[in-house]
Amino acid sequence: MTTAAAARGEASVAVISGASSGIGAALAQAYAQRGWRVVLVGRRGSALDATAMACAQAQGLQAVDPSRLRLISVDLRDIQAWREHAVRLLRDWGCPQVVVAAAGISHGVDLSHAPDLQVAGEIMHSNWLAALGTLSPFIAPMRARGSGTLAAIASVAGVRGLPGHAAYSASKAALIRSLESLRVELRGSGVRVVTVSPGFIATPMTAGNPFPMPFLLDAQAFARRALRAIDRGSAYATIPWPMAVLSKLMHVLPRGLWDRVARLQGRKPRREPPEDDPS
């Protein structure tokens, strides 16, 4: 909490993108339960309303209190529109203590199909560029203050390429490396950069996976563990821990062996038509 905010008796602020559902919604509720003021960011207004009500209940309230919950309905792929919302947020609520880029999409692609190249571009835009755009407006204010945490939800899928995941694995690998670059740039500034890489989490994104999902966690259990990693300022955290062990093994396997192992993994279903609605 900033000194000025503490003097006013205001709670810390967390900004959560992808708050319409899944991991983002679970993280928002976890911060609300802590008594933080929470900014819910997502594209689907009605789903944001549902998350806001769940957050209010986590705060022990029967209705949403606008002084404790702020809803921003915006397509994060529109970076300029998001920056305008962020400027107003900084003016009204000050610089947040934590920003988590949790929005993302996942679809299988078959690169032999021309329409899937458009899907691949959308996945890269949503999972990489829009995630960086989510954090961008808060970098300079946090650095000027000398504190804050910038976090993003990556994926174990970013460690190695998986069948059908030519776009998703690439988008998460790009996000991991970009966050690593940002962490190095901000070292010594007081601003922490946290990469959280989930394994399989029970959300709408994974509901249609036609293959086994080892170490599957529900979103609420994941959120509790992710908050601990964000509190610690962990540079990189894989959740749950058995998936961390598996991902380290994935990382070091020789390419030939990885190719044989990865072929055993089922493919993520393709999406038709090529358009989507990131949360």
In a domain, residue 272? The reply is no
What confidence tens digit (pLDDT) does each residue in 161-173 have? 888 889 999 999 9
Residue 62 CB neighbours (<10 A): 8
In angstroms, the CA 124 to CA 50 distance is 28
In a domain, residue 243? The reply is yes
In angstroms, the CA 77 to CA 100 distance is 16
In a domain, residue 268? The reply is no
- Share of residues in the chain with pLDDT > 90 (%): 69
On the CB side of 119, CA atoms within 13 Å amount to: 23
In a domain, residue 164? The reply is yes
For the segment 50-64, the average pLDDT, to the nearest whole number, is: 93
- Share of residues in the chain with pLDDT > 70 (%): 91
Residue 272's pLDDT is: 59
The CATH number for 49's domain is: 3.40.50.720
In a domain, residue 98? The reply is yes
In angstroms, the CA 82 to CA 27 distance is 20
The residue segments making up the domain with residue 46 are 3-262
For the segment 240-263, the average pLDDT, to the nearest whole number, is: 85
- Looking at the annotation, which residues are catalytic? 168
In a domain, residue 242? The reply is yes
Residue 213's pLDDT is: 76
**Structural domain count, the chain:** 1
Residue 216's pLDDT is: 84
Q: How far is CA 159 from CA 156, 176, 199, in A?
A: 6, 9, 11
Question: Is the pLDDT score of 204 beyond 70?
Answer: yes
Q: What is the DSSP letter of 95?
A: S
For the segment 211-229, the average pLDDT, to the nearest whole number, is: 89
Q: What is the pTM of this model?
A: 0.89
Quick one: CA dihedral 122, 123, 129, 133, positive or negative? Answer: positive
Question: Is the pLDDT score of 155 beyond 50?
Answer: yes
In a domain, residue 152? The reply is yes
In a domain, residue 269? The reply is no
